[in-house]
A = this chain, B = another copy of it.
Amino acid sequence: MFKTTLTEAQSRIGDFLTDQMARLGDDRIAEGMRYATGGGKRLRGFLALQSAALFDVPVERALYAAGAVECLHAYSLVHDDLPCMDDDDLRRGQPTVHVKWDEATAVLVGDALQTFAFELLSRAEAGTAEMRVQLVNALARASGAEGMVLGQAQDIAAETAGRPLTLEEITALQANKTGRLIEWPALAGAILGEADPAPLRSYARAIGLAFQIADDILDVEGDAETAGKALRKDAEAGKATFVSLLGLEGARTRAHDLVAEADAALQPYGEKAQALRDLAHYIVTRDK
C-alpha cells in the first residue's frame, strides 16, 4: 500500500519535472539536469506532497514544492560527487554527471538545478505570493551557509580534523547536511496549508536523523549494487559514523526510537498522516 503510494508520487514528480524542464531545450546543461533528477527515491518530494495533503493543499500546487526540493537535492549530489568533493563515480546505479560528461558540466548542471529550484517556487501556480516567498526564504535558509552547505563544509573539515567526531558533533553536522533539506518539504506543507509548522518540524527532525543513521547502517550492511552507489567508504576512511559511535545494535535502536518520536509528532493529524507514518518506517528499513 505504502509502496504503491510512494511509487505513484515518484512518477508524478518525475512527470512534473519533465514538463517543467521541457522549456529548457536539449542542450547539454538541460540534458544533465534531467539526468541528475531522473531517478532516486524522491523521498523529499514525497514528503512535500504528503505534508501538503494533510491540509488539503491541491497536489498541482504542492508539486512545485516537491519538484523544487528534488532539484535542490539533486544539485547537492552532483556537486558532492565531484572529484574535489567526495569523488564518486556512481550515483543511483549510473555514472555521476562529471563521469558521464565532465567536471565543468557537473558544476554548471548543479548550479542550474539550484537556480531551477528557486524558479519553481516563484511560479504563480506554486501558491500565493506570500506562500511562495516564504517557501523561497525557508529553502534558502535550509540549504545555504547556515544549513546544507555548512553541513557539507563541516563534513569536509571532519576529514582533516585529526580525530573522529563525537556523537554530538556528528548529530549537528548531519542535522545541517541532510536534516535541513528533509525538514524543508515538511515545513513547505505547513506553509502551503497555512498551518502550524511545529508538529511537522518535530516529525521531520526525527526522520531526518533516523534517515542518516539508516544510511550509516546501510553503508556497513548494504549491497552496493542494490544501493546504486559505493559503500563502505566511511569505514575505509576511518570516519566517525553513528555505527562507529553507537555500534550496529545501538544505531538500530536509536533509529527505531526516532521513528517512534516521529509517529508521536504526527498525532494531531490522525488517519490523514498514515503515509507519513509509513514513510518514517520505510526510511529505517529501506535497502537503498
A binding-site residues for B, Cβ under 8 Å: 23-24, 27-30, 33, 75, 79, 82, 84-85, 102-105, 107-108, 110-112, 114-116, 118-119, 121-123, 128-130, 132-134, 136-137, 139-141, 143-146, 149-150, 152-153, 156-157
Contacts and interface: CB of A to CB of B under 8 A. Distances in A.
B84 A107 contact: yes
Given A33-B145, A136-B122, A115 B116 contact: no
A271 B131 CA distance: 39
Given A84-B102, A107-B85, A153-B27, A118 B118 contact: yes
Nearest to A85: B104
Contact of A114 (B111, B128, B146): B111
A29 B144 CA distance: 10
Contact of A115 (B104, B132, B133, B145): B145
B118 A140 contact: yes
Question: Interface on chain A toward B: helix, strand, loop, or mixed SS?
Answer: helix
Given A79-B107, A118-B139, A122-B136, 15 more contacts: A24-B146, A27-B150, A28-B157, A29-B150, A30-B145, A33-B145, A82-B104, A82-B107, A84-B104, A119-B141, A128-B129, A129-B129, A129-B130, A132-B136, A136-B136
